[in-house]
Amino acid sequence: MGSYLREHSVAVGLSAGLHVVIAFALTLGLSFSGRPVLPPMGEQVAIEAVVVDETLIREEIERQEELERAEILHQQEEERIAREQTEEARRLLEEEQQRLEEVRLEREREEQQEQQRLADLQQQREEAERLQAENEARLAREREAEAQRQREEEERQREEAERVRLAEEQRQREEAERLAREAEEARQRAEMEAELQRVLAQEDERRRAEESGLLDQYVRLIVNRIEQNWIQPVSAQPGLECEVHVIQIPSGDIVDVRIGRCNGDEAVIRSIEAAVLRSSPLPPAPLPSLFERSLNVVFTPNI
């Protein structure tokens, strides 16, 4: 717009001047309503001149307006052309950018293809290396398996030889154990036979001692020893009778005493136990066959 005013400054100035003149004329009282005021006779020519000038002015204004419209149309046309040129430039720019983008994409595709090709080559190389490593590992396993088989065969042979040796030693040991067992069994049979003979002799001796009253005398000695060591408690009553179980060792020492059936109270029972313990060691048996580790006697003191 600024360039348009600079290029048509004269026309614009003239148009503005015409507008000012028209406004001034209207201000002087030109009226289109009611009766017109007739000027004096001498002023008729001047009025006509004013009317003529107003027509010219209107024509000039219309001409100027036409010029302005033409200029506006020209400006619009220039703007349209500029827009078209701008759009064309933008289109060309977009096409160029699209072409560059296509070139870039093509270059990226080529780079990706190259990278893929290199990756494929690397994969093929790695695959070849893997196959080679697997083949070497397989050969190594086969060699190790063969070596292991040889070691196992050698170990099996050693174990077989050791088994034969151990079996022979076991056979010899079992033979020796059999002979020793037979000898031990023979010895035990001899000892059992001797023990049997001894037991039979003791039983015969005990039977004869019982028949002769010697066993009763031995039991009476023990009972007398206990009665001698008995301290009669106050609660003891006539007719006292208690079973006494005594455990002794071959020396006659008493290791345990228990009171069985007894018609005495607790004080009597405790006094009998004390008397038995004070009687240790008991009198020795007159014959070895009469010794009994577990004795059962009846304590019936005279009260």
Question: How confident is the model over 130-188, as pLDDT tens digits?
Answer: 899 999 999 999 999 999 999 999 999 999 999 999 999 999 999 999 999 999 888 88
pLDDT at position 8 is: 44
Model confidence at 42: pLDDT above 80: no
pLDDT at position 58 is: 85
Angle of helix 214-228 relative to helix 266-278, nearest 10 degrees, comes to 110
Model confidence at 75: pLDDT above 60: yes
pLDDT at position 249 is: 92
More confident site: 244 or 201: 244
More confident site: 150 or 6: 150
Q: pLDDT of 110-134, one tens digit each?
A: 888 888 888 888 989 998 998 999 9
| Residue carrying the six token digits 């507008």 | 19
The vertex-266 CA angle with 264 and 267, nearest 5°, equals 90
Local structure of 240: helix, strand or coil:
coil
Beta strands in the chain (DSSP E): 242-248, 254-262, 294-299
What tokens does 163 get?
A: 């088994």
pLDDT at position 209 is: 66
**Nearest of 10, 6, 14, 5 to residue 61 by alpha carbon:** 14
Cα end-to-end distance, the chain, whole Å:
164
Q: pLDDT of 185-230, one tens digit each?
A: 888 888 888 877 777 767 776 677 666 777 788 888 899 999 999 9
* Arithmetic mean of pLDDT, 235-255: 92
More confident site: 30 or 266: 266
| Residue 302 zone, left/alpha/beta (φ > 0; ψ -120 to 50; rest) | beta
Cβ-Cβ contacts under 8 Å for 279 (sequence gap 6 or more): 222, 225, 226, 228, 229, 254
DSSP designation for 279: T
pLDDT at position 273 is: 94
